[in-house]
Structure 1
Amino acid sequence: MKSLKKFNKSIISGAVLFATMTLAGCSTTMEQGKYADGTHDVSAKGKKGLITLTVEVENGHIVDIKTKSHNETESLYLNAERLLSQIVAKNGHEGIDAVSGATYSSNGILEAINSLPRANGSQPEYVAVGAKEENADDNFKLKWSIQPDLGLIKGDYYYEEARFRQGHMGSVAIVTELNNAKNVIFAEFNESGRPNYYTRLYQNVPKRMSEYNFSMGKKKGTAWVQSALTMEKLMVEQDKLTFDLNPEYDAKLGNKLKEPNRLKYLGIDVVAGASNSIQQSMVPLTAKIHEKINGQGSNQRFYQQAEKLMDAKGKWTGVTAMLRIVVDTDTKQITKAHYDEIFADEKAQIKDASQKKFYRQSKYESINYVEPARIGFNVMIDGLNAHLQQGGSLFMIDDLPATGDTGSYAATGFTKRSNSWDNYLNLADVLYKEMRQDGMILEHKKQ
């Protein structure tokens, strides 16, 4: 019996030894992690300055991270610092969202990890991320584009607006080629919610580039703007401004959402979601413009310049600046002006993590966009329009909101200078030169 125990013991010891040797052999062939071994200090910019982390790497894997230094608000950084354990668990920053309320600090931490030396010597570009709730609509499948055509558009300008259906305000802008009224080169329909709209959030809010489209899309499966874009595309492509109802159109099916194209005109399908707006506002307004084009014509000239805003490395920030100016061809005075900054159609295209949630919206029309200058972006632009309509200079704008620092916001609530004014001035210079060359505007002093 003792000899049997000895025999069994020797077998077990041999098996353990073999297993140990096998594991040891495997350890020499185990896949090396992606990072260079050692202790590394890595840094990236947070909201108020550099965030520096000390990272320990063994066998290519992150085993420990400590904050070496930072200049962030302590309470915010403590929230963001929760990401460190996630980074260790995932052995990297990929797939980790920013912490809500600490987006800048979070991105500082994640970008610092992105700069950690790689075992293969590569250095991938860092793409900023948003907070988790900003990605809550990732399953939103509807697609549309609100991007303006880049470069210059100019032509004869026609505009109509009127309230319809319980007080919504509809408007249509049409631009035709100079000296060729039959060629429609620009068409845009917009609508603002009625002042007594049942959802207070959308009272008097333009729908085209605001959150309204996402709200409607989630409830009804289609966005309001999709119908408008469909009609505008047809107007420009077919040079057509008048539409007759299809005699086979079944009004009983008008509010059914089972089909993507419910409302039909002769040869034209309109995307579901804005059938009432198209029927009761867009079509009647464009019919009025059609009459003007074939009647007295226009004494208004339209100029638009749109450019992508680039960062210091020459890469698109995901924001497009656009300036429109309408001038009276007789008086050479500006009758209407509008500047806006429009966010990209997709979150991934927007570099600033805090702005990703505004994709397919514009600063002017968005409800939730917060202007860093501490004043409503729409207030700034409405002020610009009034300033120019009253004969003010395109360039001397120091009397407008947020064109300069006016005190300590923390102490008094005063505004800061908005960077958007610099973008506006660049486009204003482009359009001014074009208008002067055409003899369409009086001289505007620069300083």
Structure 2
Amino acid sequence: MAAHNKTRRYALPAATLVALAMTGCASQAPQGKYLDGTHEVSGKGKKSTITLQVQVEQGKIQQITTQSHKETESLYLNAERLFPKIVTNNGHEGIDAVSGSTFSSNGILQAINSLPRTDGSTPEYQPVGASEEKGDEFKLKWSIQPRLGLLKGDYYYEEARFRQGHMGSMIIVLDSDNPSDVILAEFNESGRPNYYTRLYQDVPKRMSEYNFSMGKKKGTAWVQSALTMEKMMVEKDKLTFEPNPDYDPKLANKLNQPNRLKYLGLDIVAGASNSIQQSLVPLTAKIHDRIQGEGTQLKLYQNAERLTDDQGRWTGITSLLRFVVDTSTKEIVDVYYDEIFADSKGEIRDASLKKHYRQSKYDSVHYVEPARIGFNVMFDALNEHVKAGGSIFDIDDLPATGDTGSYAQTGFTKRSASWDLYLKQAELLYQEMRADQVVRAHN
């Protein structure tokens, strides 16, 4: 669900750029190290060629952008920590590789080494090792932001419990006009009912606090692996994976062994192989069989949009609405509405909500809904109402649709602002479904 952006940037602050520009106005400005312009340069990583776009002004590197790579995503994110060092140093000389990402680091540094220089030289690149202390651990980053705008296509869903009772679920959406085109792949997992941490019993992991509090090995590894697999499925239209003939179960827990994976072609962050191999891969294989067999009569209609304030600025919250409709009966069989917080605290304008970054209102266990009733309770009730035949616009009897009672006596609830946001999205998707003639009339 999340959006996967290949482009990452590091640039100097605006004030620094202004200062550099003023310096460049001097008639006696010294010749710079690199040729001015926007250059595309490449270096060899561990698994692929790493291609960077580098902006040079007045001989100095101003901005570095990753154009493409096929490295292990988490390791490459680690290596990208070199960007600010390269900009500050105006070159790669004297910079060591990042510990744990030596090959990707050298690919980046080699690319910088190939930048065209004002003196016409092209120094031979000398690979470097890592010298950072082990205590300087990289904290994995990830994005849970959905693809903005309208998305619709043929819908497939599978879920099953695995490994001690965790619940895995997989959504695949195909382009209705081109069934070989995977346009959405989304994996989720909920903690087992008897999970040793009570807080996460039956709680979905994708957009909850799980990915923070469970630590690097369990939380961030889980979500990073899921996002990496989803990205591969969409980009390569790939839903099946071949078994690894060299797999040795005796080495299954030795995470530094390449044959610990049961399937070939999987790019998994260490610590999440069970979820991927025991849940995501088998569930996707079932969906693949259904695609090749009976197909589906279900269609997904989804819209995601950023919520803005009165001045048109993003609040740091993205609203998402999904309808799953059975085209044979023209009934909506599933409704999911959520509001997803930005990937960083700085993007969230309401200070009281910053702590919920990379989480959603539906999945968070600590989010407090101002309506004084659970956000998940509100929209679970909507789902049940619609599945029972109710109109998607008839919300009057649902939780937190109005002020009720006395808080001291009955647990007073307020009308939630999220209902109005939902209704706006519902109207948009309803018009789309009606235009496609896949849903009955809703009053």
Shift of 1:412: 3.5
Structure 2: which amino acid aligns with 1:335? V
What is residue 423 of structure 1 aligned with on the other side? 421
CA contact (8 A) 1:172 1:188 kept: yes
Shift of 1:219: 5.5
Tell me the secondary structure at the aligned position of residue 209 of structure 1: coil
What is residue 207 of structure 2 aligned with on the other side? 209
What is residue 128 of structure 2 aligned with on the other side? none
Structure 1: which amino acid aligns with 2:401? T
Choose from 271, 274, 277 the match for 2:275.
277
Structure 1: which amino acid aligns with 2:161? R
Shift of 1:250: 4.6
1:20-59 matches, within 5 Å, as none
Structure 1: which amino acid aligns with 2:407? Y
Shift of 1:273: 2.8
Count matched residues: 307
- Structure 2 residue 171 is matched with structure 1 residue 173: yes
Aligned in 2, Cα 1:307/1:260: closer, same or farther, shift over 3 Å? farther
- Structure 2 residue 393 is matched with structure 1 residue 389: no
Choose from 359, 363, 375 the match for 2:361.
363
What is residue 327 of structure 1 aligned with on the other side? 325
Cα distance between partner residues in 1 of 2:408 and 2:416: 17
CA contact (8 A) 2:341 2:358 kept: yes
Cα distance between partner residues in 2 of 1:337 and 1:393: 12
Shift of 1:221: 7.8
Choose from 194, 197, 200 the match for 2:198.
200
Shift of 1:245: 2.7
CA RMSD for the aligned pairs?
2.0
Tell me the secondary structure at the aligned position of residue 267 of structure 2: strand
CA contact (8 A) 1:261 1:271 kept: no
What is residue 412 of structure 2 aligned with on the other side? 414
Shift of 1:140: 7.9
CA contact (8 A) 1:300 1:327 kept: yes
Q: Deviations over 1:421-447 (max 9, x none)?
A: 1111111011001000000111111xx
What is residue 39 of structure 1 aligned with on the other side? none
Shift of 1:352: 0.7
1:127-206 matches, within 5 Å, as 141-206=139-204
Shift of 1:418: 0.5
CA contact (8 A) 1:261 1:269 kept: no
What TM-score results when the alignment is normalised by the length of structure 1? 0.66
Tell me the secondary structure at the aligned position of residue 182 of structure 2: strand
CA contact (8 A) 1:318 1:344 kept: yes
What is residue 307 of structure 2 aligned with on the other side? 309
Shift of 1:408: 3.5
Q: Deviations over 1:150-181 (max 9, x none)?
A: 00110000111111112111111100001321
What is residue 73 of structure 2 aligned with on the other side? none
What is residue 247 of structure 1 aligned with on the other side? 245
What is residue 131 of structure 1 aligned with on the other side? none
What is residue 82 of structure 1 aligned with on the other side? none
Report which of the two structures shows the higher radius of gyration computed on alpha carbons: 1
CA contact (8 A) 1:205 1:365 kept: yes
Choose from 336, 345, 348 the match for 1:347.
345
CA contact (8 A) 2:218 2:272 kept: no
CA contact (8 A) 2:300 2:323 kept: yes
Cα distance between partner residues in 2 of 1:331 and 1:305: 22
Tell me the secondary structure at the aligned position of residue 224 of structure 1: helix
CA contact (8 A) 2:168 2:188 kept: yes
Structure 2: which amino acid aligns with 1:444? H
CA contact (8 A) 1:220 1:257 kept: no
Segments of 5+ residues of structure 2 without an aligned counterpart are 1-136
Aligned in 2, Cα 1:280/1:413: closer, same or farther, shift over 3 Å? same
Aligned in 2, Cα 1:261/1:228: closer, same or farther, shift over 3 Å? farther
Aligned in 2, Cα 1:290/1:219: closer, same or farther, shift over 3 Å? closer
What is residue 400 of structure 1 aligned with on the other side? 398
Choose from 422, 437, 442 the match for 2:440.
442
Tell me the secondary structure at the aligned position of residue 214 of structure 2: helix
CA contact (8 A) 1:317 1:349 kept: yes
Structure 2: which amino acid aligns with 1:345? D
Tell me the secondary structure at the aligned position of residue 156 of structure 1: strand
What is residue 378 of structure 1 aligned with on the other side? 376
My pick for the range that moved more, 399-408 or 305-314, is 399-408
Aligned in 2, Cα 1:222/1:408: closer, same or farther, shift over 3 Å? same
Segments of 5+ residues of structure 1 without an aligned counterpart are 1-138
- Structure 2 residue 287 is matched with structure 1 residue 289: yes
Tell me the secondary structure at the aligned position of residue 433 of structure 2: helix
Cα distance between partner residues in 1 of 2:271 and 2:397: 42
Tell me the secondary structure at the aligned position of residue 336 of structure 1: strand
Tell me the secondary structure at the aligned position of residue 434 of structure 1: helix
Shift of 1:413: 1.5
CA contact (8 A) 1:311 1:317 kept: yes
Cα distance between partner residues in 1 of 2:326 and 2:414: 34
Cα distance between partner residues in 1 of 2:330 and 2:221: 39
What TM-score results when the alignment is normalised by the length of structure 2? 0.66
Aligned in 2, Cα 1:220/1:181: closer, same or farther, shift over 3 Å? closer
CA contact (8 A) 1:193 1:206 kept: yes
